[in-house]
Amino acid sequence: MRRPRIWVALGLLLVAAGCAPAPTPPPGPDPGTDAGLLPLRATRGTDAGLFDSAGRQVTLRGTNFNQLGDYFVTDPRLPTVASLDDADWDDAQAMGFNVIRLVTTWSAWEPERGRYDLAYADRVRDAVEQANAHGMYVLVDLHQDAWSKFVYSPIDHVCPTGWQRTRGWDGAPEWATFTDGEETCSPDGKRETSPAVRRAWINFYANRDGIRDAFGDLWYFIASRFAGDPGVAGFDLLNEPGLGSSFDYSASALSSAYADAIANIRAAERDHAPGAPSHPIFFEPVFGGFPLIPFDFSTDDNLVFAPHTYAESFDDIAGFLDFSLEGYRTAADAYRTPVFLGEYGAYRGDEFNRKWASRVHRLVDRLGYVGDTWWQWEQACGDPHNTSYPLSEEEVLRRLPGCADARSIQACPTRPYPRATPGRLTALEAEPCGSGPITFSGSTTAPGTADVWFPSDSVEPPAVTGAGITSVSARAVPGGWRVAAVVNGSYTVSIG
């Protein structure tokens, strides 16, 4: 989970973003709403977007599942993650989601150097299959927070005066964690400011003992498992990459690490599914720093910029949420890529959270984001996001009764949206929280079917009006309705 910081000189690195024309979305027969999940591809250019193999623009809406994450254990009696079971998939489907951002962890993929855990890989495969069976893509996320669960302050460690002890989080395996004996406590209580965490990132960026190469090798392994799989929306290279010695050095080194990982992913796809479509690759900026990195796009166009925001969720800086999301839009325009909001969430009170989430939803619709996934579906009683460190025996006993029910913590979890629209989506305005009206416009050179999710508890189908529509059908599904509108030319669809 990301806490916001104000960027410095948003446009400083704009000139570093390369340019390439956006290819025309591929033609193909329109599958309608019942033909399963089609391969996705991102396009770059002045009109960047995310499209399926039928040429429809796709909007991805969903949540983060962290049940496969490998987290620091504060107390062995408190589980760090919830179980992933049929109820999760059924409930997510009933919210109309078409994507799950699936948290996976390097320490679980490769607990020993050069030995990948095939049982863990099978768990990830099973999650992908379950999601696909419920009509949802999976975005495979390689997650980390504060570098690793192996960076923390021992219980008997004495912090410098005024500093605070830190708990571990998640990410790299122990063999890839080099802190060089730096202080594990934090001067301001924030997990990323511990000198040990900073040193671990410095050593990663410097490729200490080849660990950055190992990161790229891991992506070859992951991509080889899902090469040619249309049910995988893409690969999220690294969650919230940390700050090393400086912003500019971290950005440059991260760019190189990304380039190597992308090359490995493409090699794995060629080796294991020759001729099959490649997957979109989602990339994030340096945590707390510039939204841009000096990235070379000359070898790959199938990319999506995927930042996070918690602006005004943890702070009280008026207007920061708008600034955050508009700034990311500007960064994506400089990259000439689509932009996807990988995480967002508010954690104050029901009224505040609802208003905050509604603002996020209106902004991403207006700014043309290609989707969003809120944080997080379930939070277990021992999740590092949900616990202090160290815990007293009294605190452990107080938490134990609630451990059986991991809770969903996001306000406004569902709202209407177009899952796929023929041609190009040009405008979208929708109820930002729950059931309500939606209107979107687009343009297509050939007839196609717009697939729309409309949450509702009504037994009557929603009313559909607009222009450029040749036929409409609606079918009841858990949680609402799937509306199929065949459109052509310039069209507008309103549902309510």
- Residue 288, pLDDT score: 75
Would the pLDDT of 29 be above 70? Answer: no
In the predicted model, what is the mean pLDDT of residues 368-384? 97
Burial of 160: CB neighbours in 10 Å, binned 0-12, 13-18, 19+: exposed
Q: Which residue has the higher pLDDT, 404 or 28?
A: 404
Asked if residue 32 has pLDDT above 60, the reply is no
State the span(s) of the chain assigned CATH 2.60.420. Answer: 416-496
* pLDDT above 50 (res 31): no
Of 332, 338, 234, 341, nearest to 292 by C-alpha is 332
Identify the pLDDT of residue 289: 66
Over residues 128-150, the pLDDT tens digits come to 999 999 999 999 999 999 999 99
| Per-residue 3-state assignment (H helix, E strand, C coil) for 213-281 | HHHHHHHHHHHHHHCCCCCEEEEECCCCCCCCCCHHHHHHHHHHHHHHHHHHHHHHHHHHCCCCCCCCE
Q: Which two tokens stand for residue 144?
A: 């980390």
Q: For residue 390, what are its two tokens?
A: 């160290």
Q: At what angle do helices 350-367 and 320-335 cross, to 10 degrees?
A: 30
Confidence band of 22 (pLDDT split at 50, 70, 90): very low
Asked if residue 5 has pLDDT above 60, the reply is: no
Q: Please tell me the pTM assigned to this model.
A: 0.93
Digit-coded pLDDT (tens) for 425-439: 999 999 999 999 999
Q: Please name the residue that has the structure tokens 């409309």.
A: 454
Residue 33 pLDDT more than 60? no
Is the pLDDT assigned to residue 79 strictly greater than 60?
Answer: yes
DSSP 81: S
Write down the residue that tokens 């189908």 correspond to. Answer: 461
Each residue's pLDDT tens digit, 244-258: 999 999 999 999 999
Which structure tokens are listed for 10? 């948003």
Q: Where in the chain is the domain with CATH 3.20.20.80?
A: 14-29+38-414
- The rounded mean pLDDT for the chain is 92
pLDDT of residue 11: 37
What CATH number should be reported for the domain whose range is 416-496? 2.60.420
Instruction: Average the pLDDT over 329-357 and give the result.
Output: 96
**Predicted pLDDT at 10:** 39
> Are 472 and 485 contacting, i.e. CB atoms less than 8 angstroms apart?
yes
Cβ(323)–Cβ(5) below 8 Å: no
**pLDDT grade for 72, boundaries at 50, 70 and 90:** very high
- Residue tagged 């960027």 (tokens): 7
Decide if domain 14-29+38-414 falls under CATH 3.20.20.80. yes
At 465-478, the pLDDT tens digits run: 999 999 999 999 99
Mean pLDDT of the 417-428 span: 98
Give the model confidence (pLDDT) of 188-205 as tens digits. 999 999 999 999 999 999
Residue 341 has pLDDT above 70, yes or no: yes
Overall average pLDDT of the 325-332 stretch: 95
CA quadruple 357, 344, 440, 350: dihedral, nearest 10: -20
CA dihedral 76, 82, 85, 89 (to 10 degrees): -170
Q: Give CA–CA dist 367/360, Å, rounded.
A: 10
